[in-house]
Amino acid sequence: MTPDPPPTSGSPGSPALSGLNEGQAFAVGLLGGPILVIAGAGTGKTRTLVHRVAFLLEQGLAPSQILLLTFTRKAAAEMLSRARQMHANAAAVEGGTFHSLCHRLLRQMGRRLDLPPNFTVIDRADSEHIIKAVVEELKLKDKGDKQFPKPRALADIISRSRNLELGLPETVEALAPQYEDYIPQVMGIAKGFVAAKRRQALVDYDDLLFMGEELLRDHPEVRRELARRWRHLLVDEYQDTNAVQARLVMLLAGEHKNVMVVGDDAQSIYAFRGARLQNILEFPHKFPGTRLVKLERNYRSCQPILDLTNAIIAQARERYDKHLYTEQGGGPLPRLLRPRDERGQSREVLKGVQDLLAAGVAPERVAVLFRAGNDSSDLEVELTAEGLAHVKVGGLRFLEASHIKDALSHLRVVANPQDYMSWQRILMLLPGLGPKKAQQIIAAMVRATAPPGYVVALKNLPLVAQVPELGELALLLEAISDPTLSPLSATEAVLEYYEPLCRALYEDHPRRLRELEELPSLARNYDSLAEFMAEVVLEPPASRAEEQGAGRLTLSTIHSAKGLEWDHVFVIWAAEGRLPAGPTLHDPTALEEERRLLYVACTRARQSLTLLAPREHYSRGQGLTQVRLCRFLEDLDPGLLEVPRMGPVFDVAPPAQAPASRGSQRQERPYAVGGQVRHATFGLGKVMGYKGDSKILVHFGRFGLKVLLLEFAKLEAL
DNA sequence: CGTTTACGTAGACTG
DNA sequence: TACGTAAACG
C-alpha cells in the first residue's frame, strides 16, 4: 500500500497524464492490477477516472475492452464525453450502472436462467402492486387488521432483506420490529412475490443484480467470455455499492484483476438500501496486491468551507483517516441562519439568491439542498411567486406518476404479454371495469390461448359486445403489436387512445397531458419496445425542466446532489427531525449516515455555504413546535461558523443544546412524570417526560410514544 | 354483485 | 397524503 504516491514517471507528452497532481497521476498511470483510490470530496475523483480511461486508450486498448461502472448512467456519459477530449475513442467505451450492465447481460443470456428474453423490468411501485395482489390472493391478512404491514412496508422489508442479505425474520426484527408478529405472513408474501414475478416474466431492481451474479457465478463460460471482453474495469462511487455489487466486481475482474475502484467512505449515503462501507475496507483483501492511492488535496472549496466540513466529519465513528486541505485560502466563513419559521427560511434563501444574482452570479451556479423531497415545498412557492426560475432534482419521479404508468402499461403488455399486472392496469382504466372484472377478463384470455395470442383472444371475448371500450382497447393493442412499428409510432398511438381516458380520470388532466407529451421524444431513441420499456424504468429520464437547467437555480435532495458542485450552496432544514430525518433519530447507525449526508451537502460548495434551520415550525399534527438545530452543527468550534443575530433569536429560544430536562424552567407541569393520563383519541397513557416548555411526552399502549402540545392535548390525569 | 364514492386514520425519506 | 375500509349506488 502506498499512502503517499511518488511522482509518476508516465510517458511525457501524454495528454492523459498531464494536468494531474502526483496522487492522481500515479493512479491514472498504473498499468494493471487492482487499485483502490480513496478520494475525498472535491479531490478530483472524476478527473482521475476520466484520465484513466484516456490513459488506457493511449496504451492501445480498444474502447470495447474498458467497462466503466458509475452510479447513474448520466455520470458515465459525462465522464466519457470528457475523456473524449483527450482521446477520440473514449465515446465508444462501455459505461453504465450495475443495473444496466446486468440488464444487458440478462437480455442476451437470460435463457440460461430460464428467463425469457422479453422480460419486463419493474420499479418499486410495480413491486408494491404485485405484493398487494399476493396478499389478497393468499388471504394472509385478516379483515380489519390495521396493524398488518402495508404493501409499501412489505416491499421495503423484502428488498432490504435481499440487499442486506439477511434472513426475513432477522430483517423484520432489526428494521421493522413493529411487524414481528407477522413474520410468517411476511415470509409467505415474499415467496408469493417471487412466484408472481416468475409467472409474469418480471424482474425487479434487486433481481437484476442477483440474476446477473447467478449468470456469472454459475456459468464459467459466460465469466470467461466477459473477462476476455472487458480487460479493464473502473468503478466509481464504490462506497455506495452493496454486497452483491462487490461480488459482481469480483466475478468480472477476478481473472485479470485489472480493476480500479474509486470511493470516499465519508460520502457513503446509501446504507439504507444495503450499501456497505466495508466494501472499500475489504477491497485490498479481496484483491491482494491492491495499490492504495489517497487523494486529499481539495480543488473545490475554499478553506473556511473545508474547515467546517472537516470538523463535521471528524466526529464520524469509523472512517479511513484523511484530512482534506486546499491552497485556495480566503472566502467567507460559512453562515448559520436561524430564521423564525419556514417562511422566514424561504425569505432568507430568496434574499441570499437575489443578492448573488445582483452581484452577477449566474443562477446555475447556485443550489439549495435538503434532505427530503418536500422539504423545499414552501421555498418553491416563494420562488415561483418571485418569478425566480428553478429546477428541482430528486423527489417524485416522472415515471412514478400514475398517468405515465397508465400509458406505458399499454406498451408493456405488447412487449411482454405475460405482464398481467399491466393488463390489469389498462383494463381498469375503462369505465365500469374494476379489479374483479379485470381479473375475469385476464382469466378468460389465459384460458383461451397462450401469451402471444392474448390480443386476439381479447377481441373475441363475449364481453366486448357489452363494453365497446374493450373493443377499442383490443384494436389499439392489435395495431401496436405490429413488430415493424417503431416505438415512437406505438407511443403516439397509445397517447391518442389514452388522452380521452386521462381527461375523464384526472381532475388535473392539463398538467398530466403535458407530461405525457414528453413520452414520444423519449421513445424516439429506441429501436424496440422492450428496450424502451426497460431503459425508461432503469434510468428515469430527466424531465424536460431538468434539461433546461441553464439559467436556473437548482433545488435538489442531497442524495441527488451527490457528485455535483456549485459555487454557492444553501442547505435548508439543517434541523433535528429533518436532517437528521425523524425516523433515524433513535438509530445510531442511521444517524452516522445522516452526518455523512450533511457532509456531502456542505462539500458541494465552492465559494459560499449557508446553512439554515428555522426556530419553530407549525404542522397540523403537532401544532407549533420548537425546532432544534441539527446535532452535527452543535458543539462545533465557534470560529467555524458565522452566526448572524436574527431578530430576537437568542432572547426567546433557549440555547439549542440545552436538554429539556435541565435548567431552571418554572413553567407549569400539570401531569406528574410516570403518572397515568387519558387522551380523547389515544386512550390511556403514561407520562414519560416533558419537552421544552410546551410539550409533553406520553406513551400510549396502542399508539406508542407521542409528543403532545400541552395547550391542546386535553389530557385527564388519573 | 362489483364499482364508485366518502370518510377517517396511520404514516411520512433518500434511489 | 394516500390508502383502506365501509356504505351507497348502478
SS3 per-residue string spanning A426-495: HHHCCCCCCHHHHHHHHHHHHHHCCHHHHHHHHHCCCHHHHCHHHHHHHHHHHHHCCCCCCHHHHHHHHH
User: Would you state the pLDDT for residue A346?
Assistant: 92
User: Would you state the pLDDT for residue A710?
Assistant: 64
User: Would you state the pLDDT for residue A621?
Assistant: 61
Q: How far is the CA of A258 from the C1' of C6 (A)?
A: 63
> Which nucleotide, over all strands, has the C1' atom closest to the CA of A396?
B15
Q: Is the pTM of this model over 0.85?
A: no
Q: Can you name the residues that pair with A120 across neighbouring β-strands?
A: A202
Q: For nucleic chain C, which protein residues have CB less than 7 Å from any of its atoms?
A: A 132, 141, 143-146, 148, 150-152
Cell numbers at residue A439, please? 381479473
The reply to whether A73 has its C-beta less than 7 Å from any atom of strand B is no
Please say if the pLDDT value at position A291 is more than 90.
yes
User: What is the separation of C-alpha A327 from the centre of its chain, rounded to a whole number of angstroms?
Assistant: 34
> Is the peptide bond prior to A451 cis by the omega test (within 30 degrees of 0)?
no
User: What is the separation of C-alpha A428 from the centre of its chain, rounded to a whole number of angstroms?
Assistant: 30
d(CA A428, CA A172): 34
Residues 268-287 of A with CB under 7 A from strand B: 269-270, 272-273
Which pLDDT band, with edges at 50, 70 and 90, does A391 fall under?
confident
Q: How far is the CA of A458 from the C1' of C9 (A)?
A: 29
Q: How far is the CA of A131 from the C1' of C3 (A)?
A: 15
Q: Can you name the residues that pair with A336 across neighbouring β-strands?
A: A611
Q: Is A612 helix (H, G, I), strand (E, B) or coil?
A: strand
Cell numbers at residue A167, please? 434472513
- Percent of chain A at pLDDT above 70? 84
User: Would you state the pLDDT for residue A541?
Assistant: 62
Contacts with A191 (C-beta within 8 Å, 6 or more apart), sequence order: none
Compute the average pLDDT of residues A139-148. Answer: 71
User: Would you state the pLDDT for residue A171?
Assistant: 87
d(CA A263, CA A198): 36
- Please give the biggest Cα pair distance in chain A: 85
Compute the average pLDDT of residues A360-381. Answer: 90
User: Would you state the pLDDT for residue A141?
Assistant: 73
Q: What does the CA dihedral A60, A85, A540, A556 come to, rounded to 10 degrees? A: 130
d(CA A419, CA A126): 11
The single-letter DSSP state of residue A707 is E
Cell numbers at residue A588, please? 445510531
Sheet with A676-679, edge to edge strand ranges: A704-709, A695-700, A683-691, A676-679, A716-717
pLDDT in tens, A305-360: 999 999 998 887 666 667 787 877 778 899 999 998 888 999 999 999 999 999 99
Q: What is the mean pLDDT of chain A?
A: 83
For A489-493, the CB contacts below 8 A with 24+ separation are: A490/A411, A490/A414, A490/A523, A490/A529, A491/A407, A491/A411, A491/A519, A491/A520, A491/A523, A492/A520
DSSP H stretches of helix in A338-401: 342-358, 377-385
Q: How far is the CA of A473 from the C1' of C3 (A)?
A: 29
User: Would you state the pLDDT for residue A658?
Assistant: 35
Q: How far is the CA of A124 from the C1' of B10 (A)?
A: 21
Identify whether the C-beta of residue A310 lies closer than 8 Å to the C-beta of residue A598. Answer: no
Q: Which residue has the higher pLDDT, A105 or A548?
A: A105
Chain position carrying cell 371495469: A433
> Which nucleotide, over all strands, has the C1' atom closest to the CA of A597?
B14
The reply to whether A74 has its C-beta less than 7 Å from any atom of strand B is no
Q: How far is the CA of A686 from the C1' of B6 (A)?
A: 35
Cell numbers at residue A407, please? 400509458
The reply to whether A701 has its C-beta less than 7 Å from any atom of strand B is no
d(CA A590, CA A375): 19
d(CA A562, CA A552): 19
User: Would you state the pLDDT for residue A23?
Assistant: 84
Which pLDDT band, with edges at 50, 70 and 90, does A10 fall under?
very low
Q: How far is the CA of A558 from the C1' of C4 (A)?
A: 33
Q: Can you name the residues that pair with A263 across neighbouring β-strands?
A: A38
pLDDT in tens, A481-521: 998 999 999 999 999 998 888 887 777 777 778 878 888 88
The single-letter DSSP state of residue A112 is G
Residues 93-112 of A with CB under 7 A from strand B: none
Q: How far is the CA of A437 from the C1' of B1 (A)?
A: 11
Q: Is A8 helix (H, G, I), strand (E, B) or coil?
A: coil
Most confident of the ranges A246-260, A466-480, A529-543 = A246-260
Q: How far is the CA of A468 from the C1' of C7 (A)?
A: 30
The reply to whether A374 has its C-beta less than 7 Å from any atom of strand B is yes
- Tell me which nucleotides of strand C come within 7 A of a protein CB: 3-6
Please say if the pLDDT value at position A664 is more than 50.
no
Please say if the pLDDT value at position A607 is more than 60.
yes
DSSP H stretches of helix in A287-341: 303-314
Residue nearest to nucleotide B9 (CA to C1'): A146
Q: How far is the CA of A433 from the C1' of C7 (A)?
A: 20
Please say if the pLDDT value at position A3 is more than 80.
no
d(CA A492, CA A486): 10
DSSP H stretches of helix in A517-674: 518-523, 529-538, 544-547, 558-561, 588-602, 649-652
> Which nucleotide, over all strands, has the C1' atom closest to the CA of A620?
C1
C-alpha neighbours within 13 Å on the C-beta side of residue A302? 16
> Which nucleotide, over all strands, has the C1' atom closest to the CA of A144?
C5
CA angle A79, A80, A82 (to 5 degrees): 65
pLDDT in tens, A15-68: 777 777 888 888 888 888 999 999 888 898 888 999 999 999 888 889 999 999
Residues 189-208 of A with CB under 7 A from strand B: 205
Q: How far is the CA of A560 from the C1' of B14 (A)?
A: 9
Identify whether the C-beta of residue A555 lies closer than 8 Å to the C-beta of residue A367. Answer: yes
Please say if the pLDDT value at position A650 is more than 70.
no
> Quick one: three-class SS letters along A588-599?
HHHHHHHHHHHH
pLDDT in tens, A183-215: 888 888 899 999 999 999 999 999 999 999 999
Least confident of A254-258, A289-293, A434-438: A434-438
User: Would you state the pLDDT for residue A32?
Assistant: 81
Q: How far is the CA of A436 from the C1' of B1 (A)?
A: 10
Counting Cβ atoms within 10 Å, is residue A478 exposed (0-12), middle (13-18) or buried (19+)?
middle
d(CA A88, CA A268): 33
User: Would you state the pLDDT for residue A540?
Assistant: 66
Q: Which residue has the higher pLDDT, A384 or A718?
A: A384
The reply to whether A435 has its C-beta less than 7 Å from any atom of strand B is yes
User: Would you state the pLDDT for residue A714?
Assistant: 64
End-to-end CA distance of chain A: 67
Residue A546, CA distances (Å) to A97, A310, A389, A552, A553 in order? 21, 32, 12, 9, 11
Least confident of A108-117, A160-169, A444-453, A548-557: A548-557
User: Would you state the pLDDT for residue A8?
Assistant: 42
Hey, how many other C-beta atoms are within 10 angstroms of the C-beta on A108?
12
* H or E element at residue A228: helix A220-229
User: Would you state the pLDDT for residue A354?
Assistant: 94
